[in-house]
A and B are shown apart, each in its own frame.
Chain A
């Protein structure tokens, strides 16, 4: 197991190195000139060349990458060109807010999605099953920006139940903080529920049809025990994998949802950096998102290993 973890960690590191290269190269392929961006519209070729030399932009790409990557490893993410501030503190603030949003969404998606899957499997072919699958499909077939607008219209503008933009911290009060999270979390959840609930349903159906569930019933255990103790444990394994995959969708969704709800998170920062061609900010934001995605998948794999006794205990008992 320890070797497995180490190997997976190695793979994550390798992915990050490759991603840093890709990010670095692709941002350099953008049709923009950093020096021109910094100096503004009154720059001359001479001043631009001088600045480029000062910033090291006239060096070969390999050297530039080396400088950038070694600074990165020392925790120096560079300075934003547009806001003329170090990137790191900005990024971590935004990251914290996005992580809160993502964490809440994953928690809701996993509990509600798995619950919906169980209900649909147990009442297979009857109205709870049909209702749940219609709800889940409606959620996934409409993009999140549309759900966001609908929710803003209904719960924000019409009923004034929840704030429709911005974020609050604990300093503003717990209630306020939660209220700001409700609409973005619901929007993200709607689009993610289908995967988890459909997968839980099908793996639950398979398990409910299995011999050991029949055995549990033949031993006269109550249905609640059969479903939650004997069936669900085994049905959850595939759900863990799909939740990790959903994390990728979630990152994509967060970028859109943060824009709609003016939520000051990583996604919004990324869009801002793209619009303003703020290269250091852009590079740092993309790298952080990549790292988060890799680590989420690693976490899911490890969780799968811990949850599956076949991986945890490999040896045979004679």
Chain B
């Protein structure tokens, strides 16, 4: 008997035109692991919802969910409760909201044991501390006494996993458990999960949009598209040699972790997932498929059939398809930017924010009680430059100050020190009229496509605003210019009349890019422009940004936490950690040795394999101010010098600079250039 057998599961939300999950069947053996991958809206989380019973009473669930031989679907909520929490643990995406802010961590972990196992409170509390220790927490007793807001995101997720495992369940359901976390923290959580799986023989049902993670952690994988399972089988085999066109496209559109040439573009899947898929009228992927052949079998309903490789594929021609088509490499016209005069020059830039305030007794012609605000540095003396037509990638984890740098570069916020020069003129000294002229030439695209467009303005109105504001186009020609802008970002002209809520995430980001381009800028800050988008859409937007760069000679400050995306687009990369630049140089050099220990950590975090035996390095004791900012987390910590002295950026050859006390080897000469038109650097 399998631990979990899903048979013909269908989910339809109240009032929905189509099913969110359609006829899904799979099994999960005890101790096994199954990853369900798919883009947002594919229905993968609805499967978890159906098992965990949180879809609401009005949602229609058909089929069977056999857990340890019992069907959960017809079971009333009251009977299902002893199974949930006790036999099935669950961990959700956002650790920041999944813990109850009013209860102590220890109490939240102990509660399942008290309620399900009738464990006495002191015993449950002691076991909660032991569980926290199992999760790799440094001071579990202290953490158990803390409230959620006192913990970091990674610690919160560990606490949630501890609570999910409190009753030793044979099945753990994880719905995007690391999506909200930084890559290095994500790597630690994945390692923890791999270790727990091995030690406790827990079966994992792992839901994620991230193919790499699923490949690392799961034996089997199910790929979902538009409410259906389209491919199901051994994780390595499916993800290394996918058979369904959607799986092929999805894997191909992941940017590789290597510097790309200016002419290369990511393969992408055109279009978007249908909102109301109708599989009875033919393949749901037909409209986006590179191998579509509507004249033949594609127009009939597709069924899951076992393919040559032994896994199930929902495509009639699965056995005879080649790889997803790569885009023809564009003419390599080499770097279009000229080394020399920088367009943007950032020198020793600083920005501090007022932190917690405290009362201090001071002396100023007598004792005075004054309020002192602690200054928290967000950007701590960084220097960068961007040439005309050049893309500088700025990469780092959340809170490292990369977005603040982007805002400072446009003087959207005032620096506490240092200078930003655009075209030789200091932003801080600009008169209002000059500043206005600068604003026209320097634009920004934000991460959050949901909130960066005004919901009450149509696309046309949003695009006309900058035209009117800078008085660029006479009123009667604005409509034509708007249509031209829409075409530039490859949206249909009639999108002019649409409102943001009528657009998909990718389309909204295209509108935001069009709005930034409306003023014909020379420099655009792209602040995590693709982080909120699905992989296939992300590839299309990255390609669009590359095309626009080449077409208009745009310079970008491309900010992202994703090293692979940054590498795809950037000529040079700067790695940022806690307000300082720890490594900077040409993209290809940053990605190959020598590395700053932090760059190394970022690269390791997205490596293909995880070794459950390796323990993440324990953070060192908190360092005093003045030392290397990375000292506390550095696995190669040298001792006193790292805590005492901030390392300066040292040139390593080949344009690479690294700020580290370690005696790193110089850059090795390039034997066989990976990118023929690799950008030469000043």
Contact = CB atoms under 8 A, between A and B. Distances in A.
A221 B97 contact: no
Interface string B150-180: 1110010000100110000000000000000
Interface in B82-108: 82-86, 90, 92, 94, 97-103
A234 B102 contact: yes
B139 interface: yes
Contacts of B98: 211-212, 214-215
B80 interface: yes
Nearest to B163: A219
Interface stretch (B140-148, B299-307, B462-470, B524-532): B140-148
A238 to B, nearest CB: 13
Given A214-B54, A218-B54, A220-B85, A317 B150 contact: yes
B622 interface: yes
Interface stretch (B111-119, B339-347, B432-440, B547-555): B111-119
B81 A222 contact: yes
Nearest to B107: A229
B52 interface: yes
B149 A310 contact: yes
Interface in B457-488: none
Interface in A294-318: 308-310, 313-318
A23 to B, nearest CB: 31
Contacts, number: 93
A276 interface: no
Contact of A233 (B82, B83, B102, B143): B102
Interface string B305-338: 0000000000000000000000000000000000
Contacts of B15: none
A215 B622 CA distance: 34
Interface residues of B, number: 43
A310 B103 CA distance: 11
B76 interface: no
Contact of A309 (B92, B97, B147, B356): B147
A155 B278 CA distance: 66
B363 interface: no
A274 interface: no
A316 B150 contact: yes
Given A212-B99, A212-B100, A217-B54, A313 B147 contact: yes
B161 to A, nearest CB: 12
A291 to B, nearest CB: 26
B90 A215 contact: yes
A219 B54 contact: no
A314 B147 CA distance: 10
Nearest to A222: B81
A218 B85 contact: yes
A210 interface: yes
Most B CB within 10 A of own CB, among A212, A223, A308? A212
Contact of A313 (B54, B82, B94, B150): B150
A166 to B, nearest CB: 44
A216 interface: yes
Contacts of B94: 211
Nearest to B48: A218
Contact of B92 (A211, A222, A310): A211
Nearest to A237: B102
Nearest to B142: A317
Contacts of A212: 97-101
Given A212-B98, A221-B85, A314-B356, 14 more contacts: A211-B98, A212-B99, A215-B90, A215-B100, A217-B52, A218-B85, A218-B90, A219-B90, A219-B163, A219-B164, A221-B115, A222-B115, A317-B150, A318-B622
17 contacts: A211-B92, A212-B99, A216-B100, A217-B84, A218-B53, A218-B90, A219-B84, A220-B80, A220-B83, A220-B86, A220-B115, A221-B85, A221-B111, A222-B81, A309-B147, A315-B150, A318-B619
Interface of A: 3, 210-212, 214-223, 225, 229-230, 233-234, 308-310, 313-318
Q: Which 10 residue pairs of A and B lie closest in terms of their CB atoms, listed nearest first?
A: A220-B84, A219-B85, A220-B85, A220-B81, A211-B97, A233-B102, A309-B147, A212-B100, A317-B146, A218-B90
